[in-house]
Amino acid sequence: MKNRNQILVLILLLFTLSSCYNYKSIRLLQENNRSLPTYDKSNFKDYRIQVNDEIIYRLITSDETISKVISAGSSSSSQNQISYRVYTDGTIDLPFISHIPVAGLTLDEASTVIENRFKELIPDAVVKLSLANKTFTIFGDAGSGIFPIYKEKLTIFQALSMSGDFTETSDRRHIRIIRESNKGTQVLDFDIRPKSIIDSKYYYIYPNDIIYVQRDFSSFYKVNNYSALLGVINFSLSLLFGVLNYKK
């Protein structure tokens, strides 16, 4: 009976000790850890316009009269700008020109296409494009919200910091990015802990990305520090000895 009790106490202690967060399990930018995946480098690719994107354009010309008439919706004031939606056939309509194919093009490529159409009316036309829907979404165990992409190469770390970063219960092994493209919906699943995440295909955030951080399924029995761990040990041992004494 005594040996059995000692074995039960040992098992309980081992289980409790495994219930504390390991620094290696949550630390980011880890190197030389063979248990973590290694990701290949991937060049940053410019965003390509998709169906239902909202486009804002600005027309520049030396003819002020024509500019005011044609670019009535392209005011330099962000509060007064009008956006134009990309139709399901991949085209967009702008004042005085219509059915311009832009889906699948980068903003620079689409600017050139639209500019060439405007030059049929205004020889010195110059067109600048931007996205009205230049945002990404985060939800799950790292905060939630819709945030602006304030720079061209926004990284996963910058995106997460905008929502408040990870909690201790966040599952860093399985971060998911839901990304729409002209080829359909992609779900990118990756471990954010290895340093090789930098410049990989998971590193940069694109317009309309949805980032999901799930809760670690084992977090319900883990504690945050050794003070809490000692409390768990004390409670568990008291409970165990109470049950054993009751049986006697």
The CATH number given to whatever domain includes residue 118 is 3.30.1950.10
Q: In terms of domains, do 138 and 37 share one?
A: yes
Q: In terms of domains, do 139 and 181 share one?
A: yes
Q: In terms of domains, do 127 and 142 share one?
A: no
pLDDT for position 238: 62
Q: In terms of domains, do 76 and 122 share one?
A: yes
The whole-angstrom separation of Cα 205 and Cα 81 is 25
Domain end residue (candidates: 73, 97, 131):
131
Q: In terms of domains, do 148 and 42 share one?
A: yes
Q: In terms of domains, do 201 and 239 share one?
A: no
Domain end residue (candidates: 94, 112, 131):
131
Q: In terms of domains, do 138 and 41 share one?
A: yes
The whole-angstrom separation of Cα 163 and Cα 141 is 10
pLDDT for position 220: 47
pLDDT for position 113: 97
Q: In terms of domains, do 152 and 29 share one?
A: yes
The whole-angstrom separation of Cα 228 and Cα 234 is 10
Q: Residue 16 belongs to what domain range?
A: 2-20+223-247
Domain end residue (candidates: 99, 131, 163):
131
Q: In terms of domains, do 138 and 126 share one?
A: no
pLDDT < 50: residue spans in the chain:
14-15, 17, 75-77, 220-221, 223, 226, 229
Instruction: Report the CATH number that the domain containing residue 201 is assigned in CATH.
Output: 3.10.560.10
Q: In terms of domains, do 68 and 120 share one?
A: yes
The whole-angstrom separation of Cα 220 and Cα 108 is 49
pTM of full prediction above 0.85: no
Domain count of the chain? 3
Q: Report the residue count for the chain.
A: 248
* Residue with the two structure tokens 């602006």: 148
pLDDT for position 46: 95
Q: In terms of domains, do 125 and 62 share one?
A: yes
pLDDT for position 216: 85
Q: In terms of domains, do 121 and 158 share one?
A: no
